[in-house]
Chains A and B, each alone.
Chain A
Amino acid sequence: MFWTVTLSLMKGMLTTFQLFALTLLFAIPLGLVVSFGSMSRFTPLRGVVKVFVWIIRGTPLMLQLLVVYYGPGLLFDWDLLPRFQAVLVAFVINYACYFSEIFRGGIQSISRGQYEAGEVLGMTRSQIFFKVTLLQVIKRIVPPMSNEIITLVKDTSLARIIAVYEIIWNGQKFIKSDGIIWPLFYTAVFYLLFNGVLTILFGLLEKKLDYFRV
Protein backbone atom coordinates (compact mmCIF):
# COMPACT_ATOMS: atom_id res chain seq x y z
CA MET A 1 0.00 0.00 0.00
CA PHE A 2 2.80 2.38 0.96
CA TRP A 3 4.36 2.05 -2.48
CA THR A 4 1.07 2.42 -4.31
CA VAL A 5 0.45 5.64 -2.41
CA THR A 6 3.97 6.93 -2.89
CA LEU A 7 3.83 6.23 -6.62
CA SER A 8 0.48 7.96 -6.92
CA LEU A 9 1.73 10.96 -4.95
CA MET A 10 4.83 11.12 -7.12
CA LYS A 11 2.59 11.27 -10.16
CA GLY A 12 0.71 14.14 -8.52
CA MET A 13 4.02 15.76 -7.65
CA LEU A 14 4.93 15.77 -11.34
CA THR A 15 1.82 17.79 -12.16
CA THR A 16 2.53 20.09 -9.21
CA PHE A 17 6.09 20.57 -10.38
CA GLN A 18 5.09 21.27 -13.98
CA LEU A 19 2.59 23.84 -12.80
CA PHE A 20 5.20 25.41 -10.52
CA ALA A 21 7.95 25.57 -13.14
CA LEU A 22 5.75 26.82 -15.99
CA THR A 23 4.15 29.45 -13.76
CA LEU A 24 7.57 30.81 -12.84
CA LEU A 25 8.75 30.68 -16.43
CA PHE A 26 5.88 32.84 -17.67
CA ALA A 27 5.03 34.91 -14.60
CA ILE A 28 8.48 36.43 -14.10
CA PRO A 29 8.73 38.08 -17.56
CA LEU A 30 5.05 39.04 -17.47
CA GLY A 31 5.54 40.45 -13.98
CA LEU A 32 8.36 42.63 -15.28
CA VAL A 33 6.12 43.93 -18.07
CA VAL A 34 3.34 44.65 -15.57
CA SER A 35 5.74 46.44 -13.24
CA PHE A 36 6.89 48.69 -16.12
CA GLY A 37 3.21 49.37 -16.81
CA SER A 38 2.60 50.38 -13.22
CA MET A 39 5.58 52.79 -13.37
CA SER A 40 4.69 54.19 -16.78
CA ARG A 41 4.64 57.98 -17.18
CA PHE A 42 1.57 57.59 -19.41
CA THR A 43 -1.20 58.03 -16.83
CA PRO A 44 -4.07 56.05 -18.47
CA LEU A 45 -1.83 52.98 -18.91
CA ARG A 46 -0.63 53.27 -15.34
CA GLY A 47 -4.24 53.54 -14.16
CA VAL A 48 -5.37 50.47 -16.09
CA VAL A 49 -2.46 48.40 -14.84
CA LYS A 50 -3.00 49.49 -11.24
CA VAL A 51 -6.70 48.59 -11.37
CA PHE A 52 -5.85 45.24 -12.93
CA VAL A 53 -3.29 44.47 -10.23
CA TRP A 54 -5.82 45.53 -7.62
CA ILE A 55 -8.45 43.13 -9.00
CA ILE A 56 -6.07 40.20 -9.25
CA ARG A 57 -4.47 40.73 -5.85
CA GLY A 58 -7.81 41.61 -4.30
CA THR A 59 -9.72 38.44 -5.22
CA PRO A 60 -9.03 34.86 -4.13
CA LEU A 61 -6.97 32.77 -6.53
CA MET A 62 -9.60 30.06 -6.15
CA LEU A 63 -12.25 32.30 -7.71
CA GLN A 64 -9.88 33.27 -10.49
CA LEU A 65 -9.36 29.59 -11.29
CA LEU A 66 -13.10 29.02 -11.52
CA VAL A 67 -13.55 32.10 -13.72
CA VAL A 68 -10.73 31.19 -16.10
CA TYR A 69 -11.88 27.58 -16.48
CA TYR A 70 -15.68 27.74 -16.35
CA GLY A 71 -16.14 31.39 -17.33
CA PRO A 72 -15.88 31.05 -21.13
CA GLY A 73 -18.39 28.20 -21.18
CA LEU A 74 -20.78 29.75 -18.68
CA LEU A 75 -20.87 33.26 -20.08
CA PHE A 76 -20.31 32.86 -23.81
CA ASP A 77 -20.74 29.16 -24.63
CA TRP A 78 -17.16 29.09 -25.87
CA ASP A 79 -15.02 26.00 -25.90
CA LEU A 80 -13.06 25.57 -22.70
CA LEU A 81 -9.32 25.56 -22.30
CA PRO A 82 -7.88 22.21 -21.25
CA ARG A 83 -7.88 22.04 -17.46
CA PHE A 84 -4.14 22.26 -16.97
CA GLN A 85 -3.79 25.23 -19.30
CA ALA A 86 -6.62 27.05 -17.54
CA VAL A 87 -4.87 26.59 -14.20
CA LEU A 88 -1.62 27.77 -15.73
CA VAL A 89 -3.23 30.92 -17.17
CA ALA A 90 -4.81 31.80 -13.82
CA PHE A 91 -1.58 31.17 -11.91
CA VAL A 92 0.59 33.13 -14.35
CA ILE A 93 -1.69 36.17 -14.22
CA ASN A 94 -2.02 36.02 -10.45
CA TYR A 95 1.68 35.60 -9.75
CA ALA A 96 2.72 38.12 -12.40
CA CYS A 97 0.76 40.74 -10.46
CA TYR A 98 2.39 39.86 -7.14
CA PHE A 99 5.82 39.71 -8.75
CA SER A 100 5.25 43.06 -10.49
CA GLU A 101 4.88 44.82 -7.14
CA ILE A 102 8.07 43.21 -5.86
CA PHE A 103 9.88 44.26 -9.05
CA ARG A 104 8.52 47.78 -8.78
CA GLY A 105 9.72 48.05 -5.20
CA GLY A 106 13.14 46.79 -6.24
CA ILE A 107 13.47 49.11 -9.20
CA GLN A 108 12.29 52.18 -7.32
CA SER A 109 14.69 51.49 -4.46
CA ILE A 110 17.66 52.30 -6.70
CA SER A 111 18.66 55.85 -5.95
CA ARG A 112 17.92 58.61 -8.45
CA GLY A 113 21.60 59.58 -8.46
CA GLN A 114 22.59 56.43 -10.31
CA TYR A 115 20.25 57.24 -13.19
CA GLU A 116 21.59 60.77 -13.34
CA ALA A 117 25.17 59.49 -13.31
CA GLY A 118 24.31 57.15 -16.17
CA GLU A 119 22.77 59.98 -18.15
CA VAL A 120 25.83 62.15 -17.58
CA LEU A 121 27.95 59.36 -19.03
CA GLY A 122 25.73 59.37 -22.13
CA MET A 123 24.01 56.02 -21.55
CA THR A 124 20.50 55.41 -22.91
CA ARG A 125 17.63 54.56 -20.55
CA SER A 126 17.70 50.88 -21.46
CA GLN A 127 21.48 50.76 -21.05
CA ILE A 128 21.11 52.23 -17.58
CA PHE A 129 18.42 49.68 -16.71
CA PHE A 130 20.24 46.58 -17.90
CA LYS A 131 23.83 47.56 -17.04
CA VAL A 132 23.41 49.51 -13.82
CA THR A 133 20.05 48.88 -12.16
CA LEU A 134 19.09 45.30 -12.94
CA LEU A 135 21.77 43.43 -11.00
CA GLN A 136 21.22 45.52 -7.90
CA VAL A 137 17.46 44.98 -8.23
CA ILE A 138 17.90 41.22 -8.48
CA LYS A 139 19.99 41.21 -5.33
CA ARG A 140 17.37 43.18 -3.44
CA ILE A 141 14.34 41.20 -4.55
CA VAL A 142 15.66 37.71 -3.80
CA PRO A 143 14.24 37.51 -0.25
CA PRO A 144 10.70 38.69 -1.11
CA MET A 145 10.71 36.57 -4.27
CA SER A 146 11.70 33.47 -2.33
CA ASN A 147 8.70 34.10 -0.11
CA GLU A 148 6.32 34.27 -3.06
CA ILE A 149 7.87 31.28 -4.78
CA ILE A 150 7.52 29.11 -1.71
CA THR A 151 3.91 30.24 -1.42
CA LEU A 152 3.45 29.28 -5.06
CA VAL A 153 4.50 25.70 -4.31
CA LYS A 154 1.68 25.41 -1.80
CA ASP A 155 -0.86 27.37 -3.86
CA THR A 156 -0.61 24.74 -6.61
CA SER A 157 -2.86 22.64 -4.38
CA LEU A 158 -5.76 24.90 -5.43
CA ALA A 159 -5.63 23.35 -8.90
CA ARG A 160 -7.68 20.44 -7.63
CA ILE A 161 -10.74 22.74 -7.52
CA ILE A 162 -11.10 22.33 -11.26
CA ALA A 163 -10.04 18.68 -11.20
CA VAL A 164 -6.38 18.96 -12.10
CA TYR A 165 -4.92 15.93 -10.39
CA GLU A 166 -2.06 17.41 -8.39
CA ILE A 167 -0.56 15.98 -5.26
CA ILE A 168 -3.32 16.77 -2.74
CA TRP A 169 -5.96 15.31 -5.06
CA ASN A 170 -3.88 12.15 -5.41
CA GLY A 171 -3.55 11.93 -1.64
CA GLN A 172 -7.20 12.65 -0.98
CA LYS A 173 -8.55 10.08 -3.41
CA PHE A 174 -7.40 7.24 -1.16
CA ILE A 175 -9.88 8.41 1.46
CA LYS A 176 -12.70 7.61 -0.91
CA SER A 177 -11.34 4.57 -2.71
CA ASP A 178 -9.70 2.74 0.20
CA GLY A 179 -10.97 4.45 3.29
CA ILE A 180 -7.48 5.43 4.48
CA ILE A 181 -6.56 8.94 5.51
CA TRP A 182 -2.79 8.95 6.04
CA PRO A 183 -1.92 9.56 2.33
CA LEU A 184 -3.43 13.03 2.59
CA PHE A 185 -1.08 13.95 5.41
CA TYR A 186 1.82 12.15 3.76
CA THR A 187 1.66 14.77 0.95
CA ALA A 188 3.17 17.23 3.45
CA VAL A 189 6.48 15.33 3.17
CA PHE A 190 6.59 16.06 -0.55
CA TYR A 191 5.88 19.76 -0.06
CA LEU A 192 8.50 19.96 2.69
CA LEU A 193 11.15 18.29 0.54
CA PHE A 194 10.36 20.52 -2.41
CA ASN A 195 10.47 23.67 -0.34
CA GLY A 196 13.59 22.45 1.46
CA VAL A 197 15.40 22.22 -1.86
CA LEU A 198 14.12 25.68 -2.84
CA THR A 199 15.26 27.17 0.47
CA ILE A 200 18.75 25.80 -0.06
CA LEU A 201 18.83 27.10 -3.63
CA PHE A 202 17.78 30.57 -2.52
CA GLY A 203 20.45 30.50 0.19
CA LEU A 204 23.08 29.70 -2.44
CA LEU A 205 21.75 32.40 -4.74
CA GLU A 206 21.94 35.01 -2.01
CA LYS A 207 25.52 34.05 -1.28
CA LYS A 208 26.36 34.27 -4.95
CA LEU A 209 24.87 37.75 -5.15
CA ASP A 210 26.92 38.91 -2.21
CA TYR A 211 28.96 41.33 -4.29
CA PHE A 212 29.02 45.12 -4.11
CA ARG A 213 27.70 45.77 -0.65
CA VAL A 214 25.80 49.04 -0.61
Chain B
Amino acid sequence: MKKLLAMLLAMTMGMSLMACGGGETADKSTSGGSTTAPAETTDDKNDTATESTDSAESDMAAIKAKGTLVVGITDFEPMDYKDEDGNWIGFDADMASKFAESLGVEAQFIEIDWDNKIMELESGSIDCVWNGMTLNDEVKNSMATSNAYCNNAQVVVVNADVADQYTTVESLADLNFAVESGSAGEDAATENNLTYTAVQTQADALLEVSSGSSDACIIDLLMAGAMIGEGTSYPDMTYTVKLTTEEYGVGFRKGSDLAEELNSFFKTTYDSGEMKTIATTYGVQESLVEQ
Protein backbone atom coordinates (compact mmCIF):
# COMPACT_ATOMS: atom_id res chain seq x y z
CA MET B 1 0.00 0.00 0.00
CA LYS B 2 2.79 2.38 0.98
CA LYS B 3 4.68 1.52 -2.17
CA LEU B 4 1.63 2.19 -4.28
CA LEU B 5 1.16 5.55 -2.61
CA ALA B 6 4.80 6.46 -3.14
CA MET B 7 4.54 5.51 -6.78
CA LEU B 8 1.43 7.61 -7.27
CA LEU B 9 3.10 10.57 -5.59
CA ALA B 10 6.16 10.20 -7.77
CA MET B 11 3.97 10.15 -10.82
CA THR B 12 2.04 13.25 -9.82
CA MET B 13 5.30 15.05 -9.15
CA GLY B 14 6.64 14.06 -12.54
CA MET B 15 3.51 15.30 -14.24
CA SER B 16 3.44 18.60 -12.43
CA LEU B 17 7.09 19.13 -13.37
CA MET B 18 6.19 18.58 -16.99
CA ALA B 19 3.25 20.94 -16.72
CA CYS B 20 5.51 23.62 -15.24
CA GLY B 21 7.97 23.18 -18.06
CA GLY B 22 5.24 23.55 -20.65
CA GLY B 23 3.80 26.65 -19.04
CA GLU B 24 7.20 28.23 -18.79
CA THR B 25 7.90 27.90 -22.49
CA ALA B 26 4.56 29.38 -23.37
CA ASP B 27 5.18 32.32 -21.04
CA LYS B 28 8.61 32.93 -22.40
CA SER B 29 7.56 32.90 -25.98
CA THR B 30 4.62 35.25 -25.43
CA SER B 31 6.55 37.63 -23.24
CA GLY B 32 8.29 38.84 -26.40
CA GLY B 33 11.55 39.81 -24.79
CA SER B 34 10.74 41.03 -21.30
CA THR B 35 13.31 39.55 -18.95
CA THR B 36 11.72 36.64 -17.14
CA ALA B 37 14.50 34.69 -15.43
CA PRO B 38 13.32 34.57 -11.82
CA ALA B 39 15.88 34.93 -9.05
CA GLU B 40 15.23 31.60 -7.39
CA THR B 41 16.11 29.40 -10.37
CA THR B 42 19.34 27.46 -10.36
CA ASP B 43 22.27 28.46 -12.53
CA ASP B 44 21.45 25.93 -15.22
CA LYS B 45 17.92 27.11 -15.52
CA ASN B 46 18.99 30.70 -15.60
CA ASP B 47 21.12 29.99 -18.61
CA THR B 48 18.37 28.42 -20.66
CA ALA B 49 15.91 31.13 -19.65
CA THR B 50 18.23 33.91 -20.81
CA GLU B 51 18.97 32.10 -24.02
CA SER B 52 15.35 31.64 -24.90
CA THR B 53 14.55 35.24 -24.03
CA ASP B 54 17.19 36.25 -26.53
CA SER B 55 15.72 34.11 -29.25
CA ALA B 56 12.23 35.39 -28.50
CA GLU B 57 13.58 38.92 -28.66
CA SER B 58 14.58 38.47 -32.25
CA ASP B 59 13.56 35.46 -34.22
CA MET B 60 14.90 37.31 -37.22
CA ALA B 61 18.40 37.56 -35.74
CA ALA B 62 18.36 33.85 -34.92
CA ILE B 63 17.37 32.95 -38.47
CA LYS B 64 19.98 35.22 -40.00
CA ALA B 65 22.57 33.66 -37.71
CA LYS B 66 21.77 30.13 -38.82
CA GLY B 67 21.39 31.10 -42.49
CA THR B 68 18.20 29.17 -43.26
CA LEU B 69 14.49 29.81 -42.99
CA VAL B 70 12.93 26.41 -42.39
CA VAL B 71 9.46 26.39 -43.94
CA GLY B 72 6.96 23.76 -42.80
CA ILE B 73 4.70 22.65 -45.65
CA THR B 74 2.56 19.80 -46.94
CA ASP B 75 2.02 18.71 -50.51
CA PHE B 76 -0.74 21.11 -51.53
CA GLU B 77 -1.08 22.11 -55.14
CA PRO B 78 -0.98 24.95 -56.24
CA MET B 79 0.57 26.41 -53.08
CA ASP B 80 3.40 23.97 -52.33
CA TYR B 81 4.21 21.01 -54.58
CA LYS B 82 7.12 19.34 -56.33
CA ASP B 83 8.14 19.89 -59.94
CA GLU B 84 9.51 17.13 -62.18
CA ASP B 85 12.98 17.44 -60.66
CA GLY B 86 11.71 17.21 -57.10
CA ASN B 87 12.11 20.91 -56.24
CA TRP B 88 9.37 22.59 -54.24
CA ILE B 89 7.39 25.10 -56.28
CA GLY B 90 3.99 26.73 -56.01
CA PHE B 91 2.70 30.16 -55.06
CA ASP B 92 3.62 29.76 -51.39
CA ALA B 93 6.95 28.05 -52.07
CA ASP B 94 8.06 30.76 -54.52
CA MET B 95 6.99 33.56 -52.19
CA ALA B 96 8.79 31.86 -49.28
CA SER B 97 11.99 31.59 -51.30
CA LYS B 98 11.74 35.28 -52.25
CA PHE B 99 11.11 36.25 -48.63
CA ALA B 100 14.10 34.22 -47.44
CA GLU B 101 16.19 35.88 -50.14
CA SER B 102 15.14 39.31 -48.85
CA LEU B 103 16.42 38.28 -45.41
CA GLY B 104 19.67 37.08 -46.92
CA VAL B 105 19.06 33.45 -45.98
CA GLU B 106 18.06 30.29 -47.80
CA ALA B 107 14.59 28.77 -47.66
CA GLN B 108 14.52 25.12 -46.70
CA PHE B 109 11.25 23.22 -47.16
CA ILE B 110 10.22 20.40 -44.86
CA GLU B 111 7.10 18.31 -45.24
CA ILE B 112 5.45 18.05 -41.86
CA ASP B 113 2.50 16.28 -40.29
CA TRP B 114 -0.12 19.06 -40.43
CA ASP B 115 -1.57 18.12 -37.03
CA ASN B 116 1.78 18.82 -35.39
CA LYS B 117 2.43 22.22 -36.95
CA ILE B 118 2.25 24.12 -33.66
CA MET B 119 4.61 21.71 -31.94
CA GLU B 120 6.99 21.94 -34.91
CA LEU B 121 7.03 25.73 -34.57
CA GLU B 122 7.36 25.88 -30.80
CA SER B 123 10.11 23.27 -30.61
CA GLY B 124 12.07 25.18 -33.26
CA SER B 125 12.21 22.39 -35.83
CA ILE B 126 10.62 24.77 -38.34
CA ASP B 127 10.50 28.58 -38.45
CA CYS B 128 7.19 29.17 -40.18
CA VAL B 129 4.12 27.45 -41.58
CA TRP B 130 3.52 28.64 -45.14
CA ASN B 131 1.11 26.31 -46.77
CA GLY B 132 -2.22 27.87 -47.66
CA MET B 133 -3.06 28.00 -43.98
CA THR B 134 -6.52 29.34 -43.12
CA LEU B 135 -6.40 32.07 -40.50
CA ASN B 136 -8.88 30.61 -38.02
CA ASP B 137 -9.01 31.02 -34.25
CA GLU B 138 -6.80 28.00 -33.56
CA VAL B 139 -4.06 29.41 -35.76
CA LYS B 140 -4.38 33.00 -34.53
CA ASN B 141 -4.23 31.90 -30.90
CA SER B 142 -1.18 29.74 -31.24
CA MET B 143 1.00 31.55 -33.78
CA ALA B 144 2.20 34.99 -34.79
CA THR B 145 0.40 35.36 -38.11
CA SER B 146 1.01 37.56 -41.11
CA ASN B 147 -1.70 39.55 -42.87
CA ALA B 148 -3.96 37.59 -45.17
CA TYR B 149 -2.58 37.23 -48.69
CA CYS B 150 -5.10 34.94 -50.39
CA ASN B 151 -8.84 34.19 -50.29
CA ASN B 152 -10.32 30.73 -50.30
CA ALA B 153 -13.72 29.10 -49.74
CA GLN B 154 -15.00 25.95 -48.07
CA VAL B 155 -17.09 23.90 -50.45
CA VAL B 156 -19.40 20.92 -50.10
CA VAL B 157 -18.27 17.91 -52.14
CA VAL B 158 -20.80 15.22 -53.11
CA ASN B 159 -21.10 12.46 -55.67
CA ALA B 160 -21.92 14.01 -59.04
CA ASP B 161 -25.10 11.97 -59.59
CA VAL B 162 -26.82 13.53 -56.56
CA ALA B 163 -25.26 16.97 -56.91
CA ASP B 164 -28.42 18.68 -58.17
CA GLN B 165 -30.29 17.79 -54.96
CA TYR B 166 -27.86 19.70 -52.78
CA THR B 167 -27.42 23.17 -54.12
CA THR B 168 -28.57 25.19 -51.10
CA VAL B 169 -27.41 25.25 -47.50
CA GLU B 170 -30.92 24.16 -46.34
CA SER B 171 -30.78 20.97 -48.39
CA LEU B 172 -27.67 19.80 -46.51
CA ALA B 173 -29.41 19.19 -43.18
CA ASP B 174 -29.96 15.42 -43.60
CA LEU B 175 -26.48 14.58 -44.84
CA ASN B 176 -23.64 13.03 -42.86
CA PHE B 177 -20.47 15.01 -43.44
CA ALA B 178 -16.78 14.23 -43.15
CA VAL B 179 -14.44 17.12 -42.37
CA GLU B 180 -10.79 17.54 -41.52
CA SER B 181 -10.35 17.77 -37.77
CA GLY B 182 -9.53 21.32 -36.69
CA SER B 183 -9.93 22.70 -40.20
CA ALA B 184 -11.98 25.61 -41.47
CA GLY B 185 -14.28 22.96 -42.91
CA GLU B 186 -15.08 21.72 -39.42
CA ASP B 187 -15.86 25.29 -38.34
CA ALA B 188 -18.21 25.66 -41.30
CA ALA B 189 -19.98 22.41 -40.39
CA THR B 190 -20.46 23.54 -36.79
CA GLU B 191 -21.73 26.95 -37.83
CA ASN B 192 -24.36 25.46 -40.11
CA ASN B 193 -25.38 22.79 -37.55
CA LEU B 194 -24.41 19.93 -39.83
CA THR B 195 -23.85 16.37 -38.65
CA TYR B 196 -20.22 15.44 -39.20
CA THR B 197 -17.38 13.07 -38.45
CA ALA B 198 -13.94 14.63 -37.99
CA VAL B 199 -11.18 12.80 -39.86
CA GLN B 200 -7.43 13.40 -40.04
CA THR B 201 -6.97 15.07 -43.43
CA GLN B 202 -9.03 16.54 -46.24
CA ALA B 203 -7.94 13.57 -48.32
CA ASP B 204 -9.46 11.24 -45.71
CA ALA B 205 -12.65 13.25 -45.90
CA LEU B 206 -12.85 12.56 -49.65
CA LEU B 207 -12.13 8.89 -49.01
CA GLU B 208 -15.07 8.81 -46.60
CA VAL B 209 -17.38 10.06 -49.32
CA SER B 210 -16.11 7.75 -52.03
CA SER B 211 -16.35 4.72 -49.74
CA GLY B 212 -19.90 5.71 -48.83
CA SER B 213 -19.33 6.04 -45.09
CA SER B 214 -20.23 9.73 -45.34
CA ASP B 215 -22.61 11.42 -47.77
CA ALA B 216 -20.58 14.55 -48.33
CA CYS B 217 -17.49 16.38 -47.15
CA ILE B 218 -16.35 19.96 -46.76
CA ILE B 219 -12.93 20.88 -48.12
CA ASP B 220 -10.99 23.85 -49.51
CA LEU B 221 -11.99 25.15 -52.90
CA LEU B 222 -8.37 25.09 -54.02
CA MET B 223 -8.03 21.50 -52.82
CA ALA B 224 -11.27 20.49 -54.50
CA GLY B 225 -9.97 21.92 -57.76
CA ALA B 226 -6.94 19.65 -57.64
CA MET B 227 -8.33 16.48 -56.10
CA ILE B 228 -11.69 15.68 -57.69
CA GLY B 229 -12.94 15.28 -61.24
CA GLU B 230 -11.26 13.84 -64.35
CA GLY B 231 -7.93 12.07 -63.93
CA THR B 232 -8.12 11.64 -60.16
CA SER B 233 -9.32 8.79 -57.96
CA TYR B 234 -12.57 10.73 -57.57
CA PRO B 235 -13.83 11.34 -61.12
CA ASP B 236 -17.47 11.08 -59.99
CA MET B 237 -17.43 13.86 -57.44
CA THR B 238 -18.20 17.50 -57.71
CA TYR B 239 -18.64 20.48 -55.43
CA THR B 240 -21.86 22.40 -54.96
CA VAL B 241 -22.41 24.87 -52.12
CA LYS B 242 -19.81 27.41 -51.00
CA LEU B 243 -20.20 27.64 -47.24
CA THR B 244 -17.71 30.25 -46.05
CA THR B 245 -14.98 32.29 -47.52
CA GLU B 246 -11.75 32.55 -45.64
CA GLU B 247 -8.24 33.96 -45.80
CA TYR B 248 -4.80 32.41 -46.00
CA GLY B 249 -1.88 33.63 -43.92
CA VAL B 250 1.59 32.59 -42.81
CA GLY B 251 2.29 31.51 -39.23
CA PHE B 252 5.41 32.11 -37.15
CA ARG B 253 6.34 31.27 -33.56
CA LYS B 254 4.45 33.29 -31.00
CA GLY B 255 6.14 36.62 -30.35
CA SER B 256 8.29 36.38 -33.47
CA ASP B 257 9.23 39.61 -35.22
CA LEU B 258 9.19 37.87 -38.60
CA ALA B 259 5.43 38.30 -38.99
CA GLU B 260 5.81 42.09 -39.17
CA GLU B 261 8.77 41.72 -41.50
CA LEU B 262 6.70 39.53 -43.80
CA ASN B 263 3.84 42.03 -43.81
CA SER B 264 6.11 44.73 -45.14
CA PHE B 265 7.56 42.23 -47.63
CA PHE B 266 4.01 41.48 -48.84
CA LYS B 267 3.35 45.20 -49.20
CA THR B 268 6.51 45.80 -51.24
CA THR B 269 5.98 42.84 -53.56
CA TYR B 270 2.27 43.61 -53.98
CA ASP B 271 2.99 47.21 -54.92
CA SER B 272 5.76 46.22 -57.31
CA GLY B 273 3.48 43.68 -58.99
CA GLU B 274 5.88 40.82 -58.25
CA MET B 275 3.34 39.02 -56.10
CA LYS B 276 0.79 39.16 -58.88
CA THR B 277 3.28 37.78 -61.41
CA ILE B 278 4.02 34.78 -59.21
CA ALA B 279 0.32 34.30 -58.48
CA THR B 280 -0.45 34.28 -62.21
CA THR B 281 2.13 31.54 -62.76
CA TYR B 282 0.09 29.26 -60.50
CA GLY B 283 -3.37 30.51 -61.47
CA VAL B 284 -4.32 32.03 -58.11
CA GLN B 285 -4.18 35.72 -59.13
CA GLU B 286 -7.97 36.05 -58.68
CA SER B 287 -7.70 35.13 -55.00
CA LEU B 288 -4.95 37.60 -54.03
CA VAL B 289 -5.71 39.97 -51.17
CA GLU B 290 -4.67 43.59 -51.53
CA GLN B 291 -1.85 44.47 -49.15
Binding site for B on A (CB under 8 A): 51, 66, 69-80, 83, 160-163, 165, 172-173, 175-182
Contact = CB atoms under 8 A, between A and B. Distances in A.
A89 to B, nearest CB: 15
A76 B48 contact: yes
B116 A162 contact: yes
A177 B228 contact: no
Interface string B105-126: 0000011110010011011110
Given A177-B75, A177-B77, A179-B231, 17 more contacts: A74-B22, A74-B123, A75-B18, A75-B25, A77-B55, A80-B123, A163-B111, A163-B116, A176-B76, A176-B201, A176-B227, A177-B82, A179-B227, A179-B232, A180-B233, A181-B203, A181-B210
A163 B233 contact: no
Nearest to B77: A177
Given A73-B123, A75-B21, A173-B75, A179 B110 contact: no
B273 to A, nearest CB: 30
Contacts of A73: 122-125
16 contacts: A70-B122, A72-B123, A73-B123, A75-B25, A77-B52, A77-B124, A78-B48, A80-B125, A160-B113, A161-B116, A163-B111, A176-B76, A176-B203, A177-B77, A178-B232, A181-B203
The SS class assigned to the A binding surface is helix
Contact of A163 (B51, B52, B110): B110
A210 to B, nearest CB: 43
A77 B7 contact: no
Nearest to B207: A181
Nearest to A71: B123
Interface residues of B, number: 38
A56 to B, nearest CB: 14
B270 interface: no
A179 B226 contact: yes
Contacts of B203: 172, 175-176, 181
A73 B121 CA distance: 10
Nearest to B227: A179
Given A51-B7, A173-B75, A163 B113 contact: yes
A162 B117 CA distance: 10
A51 B14 CA distance: 12
B93 to A, nearest CB: 14
A179 B233 contact: yes
A175 B232 CA distance: 9
Nearest to B26: A74
Contacts of B81: 177
A23 B21 CA distance: 30
Contact of A74 (B25, B228, B233): B25
A59 to B, nearest CB: 12
A61 to B, nearest CB: 15
Interface string B1-20: 00000010010000000100
A69 B82 CA distance: 26
B234 interface: yes
A180 B75 CA distance: 14
Given A66-B119, A70-B125, A74-B123, A179 B111 contact: no
Interface in B31-67: 48, 51-52, 55
A77 B51 contact: yes
